[in-house]
Amino acid sequence: MAAFKQQLPLFKTGDFTGFLVAVLAVLVVCVSRKRRRTGLAFPPGPPAWPLLGHLPLLGGRPHVRFSEWSRRYGPVLGVRLGPRQVVVLNDFESAREALVTKAEVFSSRPDLYLMRLFSNGGKVCWKAQRRVTDRALRRLGIGKVTFEGKVMREVDDLVSTMSDQHGGAFDPKYHVGVAVLNIICSLVFGEHFNHDDPLFLKLFDAFEDISHYGGSTKHLNIFPALRHVPVLNTGAVRTMAAVKKGREFISTMIGQHKATFDPSNIRDFIDAYLLAISKETDENSSSSPKKGENFLNEDELRQDIFDLFIAGTESTTTTILWALLLLSVHPEIQTKVQEELDSALGPYRDASVLDRPSLPYTEATILEVLRFRPTPFGLPHATTADTTLGGLEIPAETQVIINRWALSMDDRKWSHPDRFDPGRFLDPEGHLDVPVYFRPFLMGRRACVGAHLAKMELLLFLTSILRRFTIKPPEGAPAQSLDGHLGIILQPPSFQICAVPR
């Protein structure tokens, strides 16, 4: 070693700077070699920094930056986030090619630190899980009129909280959040909680913390080793604590369901899943031992429930909040929705999913909220084999992000995409006309499992609110920025509204 140090004058005893420079040089060489290995056929992107790749160029609104780059380098964009090569899809055609035409290769999820914190990193047999989840939701009548009562119970609570404000200014975030969370509780546990029930509040706090701190751990997806560095790992530590609380709650509920399970009386999602587990066990015990592999078990059930909470609460809450904010600053659109509701429903009745055909402008307004302020990146995908997209090469295990912001703001598809205009979803006769390239819940094998429930929630919440109130910004309040803040999803700014009784 002493001889080695003599040959390399850089490594004088105690000279750490030299050592660091050498390590840096080696890393730069490794990274540039990796780039050369992937060759010219990897999707193009702007020049990147050594080591950090495109990270320093993304700014606070990466969805907007990717859209800008895609105009120059093409819709299938290749970027490097630290050491990871990532492909970002920025138009409908490339997203469809990946998610539908080449679904076999593009339907996995990447093994990211944040995904591991929340779940199992997509390493389980997701197809079996997905099948049982879809079946259980169908069996429970999700999105159909039979489930409407459970949603309306929460809608009524929210409307009554809004009435209690007597037209004064309030922040709707907490009230919408508890209502949406309680709907998932009804679905999964078959139970509606009082909003001041300490158990329910514990669950609410856990998912609030996951949303808040989870969004601040994105850097660990890129440099997972930083999870060991104090301060930089604060978000991860708090997220882990919240995930643990959420899981404990779910385990208790599963335990209670097992104790009272009756296969002839399926009460909720847990029961439907327990039934699927017992059927699989029966089938396997009567087939050859080789075939007898169980995909469904209690751990997977716990994970599935956790996914429903994670994926189903923040997305829906945020969309309802965006709708309230956007309608408060577009009174002319709000008035048109209210006129349509009054004429289709009369003075006393609330809307039902069965009223959809007579509410085209209302439906168009909900779709426009989903287009105008989408969840920019949804959940990341990953390739399971070497493949191509738009004639470019994508290696196996590449992370693939669908930039739904770019799809929503594509001016080759939408005229004046930065304008909030429900009229774009109507034909000249005023009938709903949804273009094939509008997929707020994405498409293919990993498309949103809760799309029917989400659409029902958006319709029932917004129609019930607008039947009773006109939503206004507080008198003299400064104009809000509508850019949003990107955490796990695109959050509106904190805002207040007045729900003025009609």
Binding residues: 448
Q: How far is the CB of 304 from ligand HEM (least distance, A)?
A: 8
Q: From the CB of residue 5, how many other CB atoms can be counted at a distance below 10 Å?
A: 13
User: Under the criterion CB under 6 A, does residue 473 sit at the interface with ligand HEM?
Assistant: no
**Does 446 participate in binding ligand HEM (rule CB under 6 A)?**
yes
Q: Residue 115 or 341: which CB sits closer to ligand HEM? A: 115
306-325 positions binding ligand HEM, by CB under 6 A: 307-308, 311-312, 315-316, 319
What mask, x for binding ligand HEM by CB under 6 A, covers residues 39 to 78?
----------------------------------------
Q: Minimum distance between the CB of residue 128 and ligand HEM, rounded to whole angstroms? A: 12
DSSP alpha helix (H) spans, 330-450: 331-345, 360-372, 404-408
The residue whose two tokens read 């329910």 is: 200
Distance of CA 5 to CAs 21, 22, 24, Å? 15, 13, 18
Q: Are strands 392-394 and 169-170 parallel, antiparallel or unpaired?
A: unpaired
Helix (H, G, I), strand (E, B) or coil at 440: coil
Q: Cβ 393 to ligand HEM, closest distance in Å?
A: 22
Beta carbon of residue 413, minimum distance to ligand HEM (angstroms, whole number)? 17
Least Cβ distance, residue 303 to ligand HEM (angstroms): 10
Interface with ligand HEM (CB under 6 A), residue total: 21
Q: Does 88 bind ligand HEM (CB under 6 A)?
A: no
Q: Are 113 and 227 in contact (CB under 8 A)?
A: yes
Q: Does the CA dihedral 278-280-281-287 come out positive or negative?
A: positive
Nearest Cα to 133, choosing from 342, 393, 308, 328?
A: 308
Beta bridge partners of 470: 500
Distance CA 296, CA 266 (A): 17
Is residue 96 within 8 A of residue 413, CB to CB? The reply is no
Asked if 96 is part of the footprint of ligand HEM (rule: CB under 6 A), the reply reads no
Q: How far is residue 422's CA from residue 384's CA, in Å, rounded to a whole number?
A: 39
Binding to ligand HEM by CB under 6 A, coded x per residue (else -) over 103-142, reads ---------------------------x------------
**Nearest distance in Å: CB 186, ligand HEM:** 11
Is 400 in contact with 388 (CB distance < 8 Å)?
no
Residue 495 phi, psi dihedral angles, 5° rounding: -145, 160
Q: Give the binding range for ligand HEM (CB under 6 A) out of 112-120, 226-234, 281-289, 375-383.
A: 375-383
Look up residue 478 and give its DSSP letter: P
53, 177, 378, 484: which one contacts ligand HEM (CB under 6 A)? 378
Nearer to ligand HEM, 337 or 449 (CB): 449
Nearer to ligand HEM, 473 or 484 (CB): 484
Rounded to 5 degrees, φ, ψ at 274 are: -60, -35
Using the structure block, give the residue that is written with the tokens 């780059």: 69
Interaction between residue 143 and ligand HEM (CB under 6 A)? no
Site for ligand HEM in 413-442 (CB under 6 A): 440-442
Beta strand 84-89 pairing with 399-402: parallel
Q: Which residues are annotated as a binding site for heme?
A: 448
Tokens 């989870």 -> residue: 214
Which residue in 90, 119, 182, 375 binds ligand HEM (CB under 6 A)?
A: 375
The answer to whether residue 326 forms part of the interface with ligand HEM (CB under 6 A) is no
The correct pick among 81, 112, 337, 379 for binding ligand HEM (CB under 6 A) is 379
Output the residue with the shortest Cβ distance to ligand HEM. Answer: 450
Residue from 74, 214, 450, 492 touching ligand HEM (CB under 6 A): that is 450
CB nearer ligand HEM, residue 455 or residue 472: 455
CA 339 from chain center: how many Å? 32
Of residues 243, 251, 252, 250, the one with CA closest to residue 206: 243
Using CB under 6 A as the binding rule, the residues of this chain from 290 to 309 that contact ligand HEM are: 307-308
**Closer residue to ligand HEM, CB minimum distance, 31 or 402:** 402
Q: Which is nearer to ligand HEM, 172 or 440 (CB)?
A: 440
| Token pair 């420079």: residue | 21
Q: Which residues contact 274 (CB under 8 A, 6 or more apart)?
A: 257, 258, 261, 301
Q: Per CB under 6 A, does 454 bind ligand HEM?
A: yes
Q: At closest approach, how far in Å is the CB of 165 from ligand HEM?
A: 25
CA distance 62 to 59: 6
Residue ranges that bind ligand HEM, judged by CB under 6 A: 130, 307-308, 311-312, 315-316, 319, 375, 378-379, 440-442, 446-450, 453-454
